Structure 1
Amino acid sequence: MNKKQPNMNVGAAGLFFLFSLLFFILIYRFLSIQITGEAHGQALAARAQQKYANETVIEAVRGTIFDRNAEVIAEDASAYTLVAILDDTVTTNPEKPRHVDDPAKTAKVLAKYIEMDEEEIIERLTKDGAFQVEFGVAGRDISHQIKSELEKEELPGITFIKSSKRFYPNGIFSSHLIGFVEKREKENENGQTETIGQLGIEQSLNEELTGKNGSLEVESDLWGFLLPDGEKKVTPAKNGNDVYLTIDKKIQTFLEDAINRVDEEYKPKKIIALVADAKTGDILAMGQRPTFHPQTREGIAQSWHNEIIETTIEPGSTMKVFTLAAAVEENVFNPNETFESGSYRVTPKSVPIRDHNYGRGWGTISYLEGIQRSSNVAVAKLVNEKLGLDAYRNYLTSFGFDQPTGIDLPNEVVGKIQYQWPIEKITTSFGQGTTMTPIQLVTATTAIANDGKMMKPHVIDKILDSTTGEVVKQIEPEVVGTPISPETAKRVREILETTITDEDHGTGGNYKIDGYRVAGKTGTAQIPGSDGKYLTGHENFLFSFLGMAPTDNPELIVYVAVQQPQIDESTNGSIPVSMIFKPVMKSSLQYLNIQPSTIGKATSNEIPDVSGKNVQEAVVTLQEKGLNPVVVGKGTNVERQLPEAGMITLEGEKVLLKTSGDEVITPDMSEWSLRDTMKFAEIAELKLNKAGNGFVSKQNIKPGTAVAKGEYLIVELTPPLHQKEKEEEEEEMADSEEGDAENQNVEANSNTSSETEEVVTD
């Protein structure tokens, strides 16, 4: 035993040393964690928080885009994504399955609600190894109504993920100005998405509209159950700001409908049109073709550019407006002085500038007649012999043609003034060679319409905090130049009016509007081909009109350009342009309650005031005036009428009468015009969504049904126009065919040699 004792002591000493070492290591580790709060380089508090915290993102609502009258143009709406749970392990009670237990039955029911074939649905529902599946585009953006109907079907395993989508209730509606949004995955965010604005306002004000997500964080146990005494941390979401545009929904609707009509009938390569407030520079409507639907993106591949601010054009004879203004301002325009029309050489060696009628001209005529006939020779001589090339170049700068307008839209470009050689300087005076954007043209025109004050164009009216309603930013009208005097502006308008009213010499007869004085200028610009030469052929032009009304005190400026419409040799190129300009200008003036200069005895009436009257008495009063009253309520007295009292309107106009009480009854709107439909939506305070153009053929709310404020009214419009409107259009076109010498002879341009093709615009 004594021999073994030393070995036992050594072993005991070794064990004591080993356990002591382990003890000291543990003590060191414990103290290290206590002091640093880290293990393996990771913060233990953060790990614990991550393990036991349950965090939910509170999504910020993207700001709403309104028109100038607070009509919704783009807004976030609740939407749902359809999801099917396939894994049978989620089911704990076989009598109450929580997964898809019958794929065939489920597919048959789902096929009634989503745009997907039953066979394709079954294929997804029987996918091996999948815990859950979605249904692609067909299963996204499910409305609350469809979700509710599906929930009533009580399909096991079918559930929904709530989200939001961008809703554009007006469909194709100045799409390039408004833009659209896309959802993209955030980098390193585990599949989380963010909404990014594309094109137009959605892009340029993306930061203002987006807002900032919040979060809800609560503590849970290892199995995900909330702890009873767990802390809650709420970071509220900051919703995006609301944007109010200068666009007027009704005027934009007038424009879209007119453009649709021309697009369908003449199938041009391009249409550009915009309406501006002559006093402020506010853009009231802006449209183009090709365009796209912001909800579906259908058509986006045809044109990504806002043609009005991102594409330059040769303006053609609309440029003569500003050449004339410069000559009048410098007091070198004598309307009674004569010159020899036909052709003109700037220098002895330069190619001749020719008038648009094959260069034949009209003999010796006055300069006033030269402007009325849109003579290239007239403006060439004014600039070269009277105004001076240097002085004219200064006016081009004063009118803003060599700088951006600063409109609050992305990607604005600037045209190029060709002013190196003598011939280029002169062709610029009638709009050839030199380029500019349509928005530059309209901006310069505000100086003519607004007594010399040129206004900066705007599409944004104000930006509001969507939570508090406080104004974040307010846009005020801004004068950006005074290139001419008020006296010059007035005189130029009067001269331009004669290009429309002079039946013998005027080139703008197609643009007369009954009851309103219009001043403006036609344009027929040649189009450069891929080989650098101008295209030839009767239809290969950019036909345009730049007009303002009323002449004595313009309220509106309308610019319309139609490129290469499909017209035959007998059709005047100004016809499709006037089919947009005239209805848009006239309807807009009437809508804005701008009184006509003359009122026909049998065609128009002043709407009497019947508010507060007994319904039967009100109906009789309106009928006696040749108006068509429509009662939209069951009360005994008239509470509100639309159009308002005092407005001038045509015989047969529908006057909507809202009766006392909260109940509004939906009328049968079959064959109603969009304008009348808009009146009902306004008086009933409904959200209007239209599809197509023409007249109402379907409505989602049955006639006789009571409606509540804020509901959606969806109507389907179908062409063609009523026969009465067709006859009126044909009569107006026939009345204006005579005296339009400009475009009757435009085919002369197609026979001009390449040496002189730069000088043959009207």
Structure 2
Amino acid sequence: GSVMKPFVYASAIDAGVYPYNQLYRAGQFDYTVDPGTGEIIRLENGAVTGYPTIKDALGKDFGVLSFEDGLANSSNIAICELLANYLDVKTYENYLDKFGFFKATDIPFVPETSGAKNMSDATSYLSTGFGQASSITVLQLMQAYSAIFNDGVMMKPYVVESIVDSATGQTINKFEPEAAGTPISADAANQTKDIMRQVFAPGFSGEKFAMEDVDLTGKTGTGERYDPETGTYDTSVFTSSIMAAAPADDPKIMVYWGMVSSNYINYSAEPFQVIMQQALIANSVNGGTSDSANEPYGQWESYEMPSLVNHSIDYANNKMADKHVNTVIIGDGSSIIDQFPKAGGTINSNDNVLLLTDGQSLTMPDLIGWTRKDLTALWQLSGLPIRQDGYGKVVWQSIPAGEPIQADTEIEVSLE
């Protein structure tokens, strides 16, 4: 399924052919092949060529998109455009080989198959880019994604850390992390990783998987199941999956979750979210949704948010003193009249906690490193109009921190 799409982007970026700041027309892709050069040529919609029309999932027409939005919307047409007009079969096939697809990872204790590469014609080549025609294994997928999440260095998976003699305590065999290659540069990996962060933004394909306390990068996927007996794809049962890593800036945990079901639209994202959160907690990794002007606290800890409304600032500071969070006071009053999160909610280390006071004067908070969730909370508490551009974390604010502002002051921020 569509979890294959980031490898087209990574390949184009690494090969130096990615179309930055360019747009394409989504919806459907009708095409033919130049018999002399083998070049795939896109034609007007409805052209009859003998090649099957490729459409975006569920027949959606996203209109004109940037390629970055194309990935966030999981557009098949973005992949077709990249493979037809920027990459070529030989180049893309070489990258798939470098990523380790279609061959066993050869890890111990796990039986494997190698999958099947099918790029012998134009349709299969294009379809491989969005996760059809060819087949791969989950182990290959995990290994390949490790390069995107790990600065271009691909790590070989392993499932046993060590074998110890239960009688003597002697270590019989020990397995260590092992690099399996460098299919792309660190720069290409990080650019791809950053593009994938938008997948989880509101209105895009991975929105349901977004987590309040975790900054994710990754890709969702829906795939058709091939029936070898009929030689066709099943029209009633599909695969649904997600590959994600956190924290997005410097991934420490990656999770692949998937299922097979006829319900490929309205299923719950909670199983994935529980796995990701528990993996982060078990490894003492912070989810990365908030930054502090000081060095972030290095451990993941969860707390219950106390009730601070109708209490003094001193009281609030005392209640929050043992919690490694960033407490932001809004207004110059002495008593708290509203708070985010609400009492009883869960907060995690390095989260932003916003406390609105009964004061009349406001000063501009330092928004650098804030997420859209934090900005929404600030707007809901204070009523300050905030114009947001981009996705990720705030990297620029129109009004410097500490400056006096009014209740109707319009604030602009840029996120990356």
How far apart are residue 646 of structure 1 and its match? Answer: 6.8
* Max Rg structure: 1
Match of 1:349 in 2: 50
Distance 2:304 2:176 in 1: 34
Match of 1:455 in 2: 155
Distance 1:598 1:373 in 2: 22
2:196·2:217 contact (CA, 8 Å) conserved in 1?
yes
Residue-by-residue CA offset, 1:489-541 (whole Å, 9 max, x unaligned) = 1111110010111x24x11001111122101111110122442222224xx21
How far apart are residue 647 of structure 1 and its match? Answer: 10
Match of 1:534 among 233, 240, 250: 233
Alignment of 1:417-436 (within 5 A): 417-436=117-136
1:626·1:652 contact (CA, 8 Å) conserved in 2?
no
Match of 1:394 in 2: 94
Match of 1:480 in 2: 180
Which AA in structure 2 matches 1:437?
T
- Structure with more of its chain in helix, by fraction: 1
Change in CA separation of 1:598 and 1:425 when aligned onto 2, cut-off 3 Å: closer
Alignment of 1:457-606 (within 5 A): 457-501=157-201, 503-504=202-203, 506-529=204-227, 530-537=229-236, 540-565=237-262, 567=263, 573=265, 575-576=267-268, 578-598=269-289, 605=303
Distance 2:272 2:161 in 1: 25
Distance 2:85 2:24 in 1: 12
Change in CA separation of 1:531 and 1:475 when aligned onto 2, cut-off 3 Å: same
Distance 1:357 1:468 in 2: 60
What SS does structure 2 have at the residue aligned with 1:387? coil
Match of 1:324 in 2: 9
Alignment of 1:125-524 (within 5 A): 316-344=1-29, 345-347=31-33, 348-358=49-59, 361-501=61-201, 503-504=202-203, 506-524=204-222
Q: Kindly, what percent of the aligned residue pairs are identical?
A: 30
2:215·2:289 contact (CA, 8 Å) conserved in 1?
no
Residue-by-residue CA offset, 1:46-73 (whole Å, 9 max, x unaligned) = xxxxxxxxxxxxxxxxxxxxxxxxxxxx
Change in CA separation of 1:449 and 1:396 when aligned onto 2, cut-off 3 Å: same
Distance 2:258 2:57 in 1: 19
Q: Which runs of 5+ in 2 are unaligned?
A: 34-48, 292-300, 306-317, 327-342, 347-416
Distance 1:550 1:574 in 2: 26
Alignment of 1:725-744 (within 5 A): none
Residue-by-residue CA offset, 1:328-373 (whole Å, 9 max, x unaligned) = 1112222421112112225343212111142x52222221121111
Change in CA separation of 1:470 and 1:646 when aligned onto 2, cut-off 3 Å: farther
Q: Higher relative CO (CA 8 A, sep ≥ 6), structure 1 or 2?
A: 1
Distance 1:469 1:366 in 2: 58
2:304·2:344 contact (CA, 8 Å) conserved in 1?
no
What SS does structure 2 have at the residue aligned with 1:558? strand
What SS does structure 2 have at the residue aligned with 1:596? coil
Distance 1:369 1:346 in 2: 26
TM-score (norm 1): 0.36
Distance 1:573 1:451 in 2: 33
1:406·1:457 contact (CA, 8 Å) conserved in 2?
no
CA RMSD of aligned residues (A): 2.9
Distance 1:536 1:338 in 2: 32
1:448·1:490 contact (CA, 8 Å) conserved in 2?
yes
How far apart are residue 651 of structure 1 and its match? Answer: 5.7
Q: Which runs of 5+ in 1 are unaligned?
A: 1-315, 608-622, 628-644, 654-762
Which AA in structure 2 matches 1:336?
N
1:510·1:575 contact (CA, 8 Å) conserved in 2?
no
Distance 1:340 1:652 in 2: 44
Distance 2:283 2:172 in 1: 28
How far apart are residue 652 of structure 1 and its match? Answer: 8.1
1:518·1:548 contact (CA, 8 Å) conserved in 2?
yes
How far apart are residue 542 of structure 1 and its match? Answer: 0.6
Which AA in structure 2 matches 1:589?
L
